[in-house]
Structure 1
């Protein structure tokens, strides 16, 4: 079968090459188009490019390897591309989108958390603290809020953050603050 004066196999191959090039360009400059997927989930550029890639690859393979009619190959390629695109969305893209949000943190979200000193803080100096979380460990530079030394292994409460440095004070979970009781 010929379309636009070219054999259909050639058209499938051109579509595959163009979709691959657009996918690479999207990977490099995708942040510009990221909002399109938020407004219209069906118009997600990743899913559109994946559909074109699956459709053209399936069509090319079926045209070159079988003797089925071209119209049946087009319908089969559309069906296979829809199934693979749906599987890609449900099992890869949706879980990745939710995982990306859950792993991030802001510095302001660290205020009020408890960490453990791994490099002791000298008087009027800096050390290092590690903060445990569900997604891993966060290590940050730290200084004492009241400029007093804090030994290695001590638990500390993060009170403030200025210019990427955490300001902490020793934390004793067994000691109740008078303000908490009133």
Structure 2
């Protein structure tokens, strides 16, 4: 194997994987492989984007291979200089892709906190009346977004449309609710009992 073939293989592998990644993402193709890695969950791991990600590495390989192949094929430079120039070119290509990912694509990516999506204790309003023992619908705000879900009365009593409710438990996509007046009345009664003591 000579240097020209080495650079050509690097270019073909880098460009091939880049094209495959683009096409599978654009056309929503699902390849029959089961690659699923879980990495970076230790105490010292961060949630940020690594500079050594697959997109940057494929860009590095593509630019490294292209520059090395063209310089080997069309110039008479020493192989060490060509290797250094190809490495520099590959690093520039990988850096451009990394900066694009970090500055534009990952800019709005925020971590998800499960506590923000906890349904117990959420205050909402009934939009479709809950009949006795039946199911209605409620709307509520969560993480700055208006959402809706099916709702049932905790004790099976009917709840009219427009009533403010509080979720006491959430199971299988159904929120079990009590009216806000009922819960605040219990809180007032407990506060009154404590003040008498």
TM-score by length of 1: 0.69
The RMSD of aligned alpha carbons is 4.0
Q: Which has more radius of gyration?
A: 2
Stretches of structure 1 lacking an aligned partner (at least 5 in a row): none
Choose the corresponding residue for 1:178, options 181, 184, 189: 189
Give the SS at the match of 1:38: coil
Tell me whether 135-144 or 13-22 shows the greater mean CA deviation: 13-22
- Which residue is equivalent to 1:131? 140
Deviations 1:37-77 (A, max 9, x none): 435869x8994312222113333554678868633132222
Aligned-pair CA distance for 1:129: 0.8
- Which residue is equivalent to 1:55? 60
Describe the shift of the 1:90–1:102 C-alpha distance in structure 2 as closer, same or farther (beyond 3 A).
farther
Stretches of structure 2 lacking an aligned partner (at least 5 in a row): none
Indicate if the aligned counterparts of 2:116 and 2:142 stay in contact, CA closer than 8 A: no
Bigger share in helix: 1
1:14 paired to 2:13: yes
Describe the shift of the 1:180–1:165 C-alpha distance in structure 2 as closer, same or farther (beyond 3 A).
farther
Indicate if the aligned counterparts of 1:121 and 1:149 stay in contact, CA closer than 8 A: yes
Choose the corresponding residue for 1:82, options 74, 89, 95: 95
Give the SS at the match of 1:51: helix
Structure with the bigger RCO (C-alpha within 8 Å, sep 6+) is 2
TM-score by length of 2: 0.64
- Which residue is equivalent to 2:36? 32
Q: Structure 2 CA distance, aligned partners of 1:20 and 1:145? A: 54
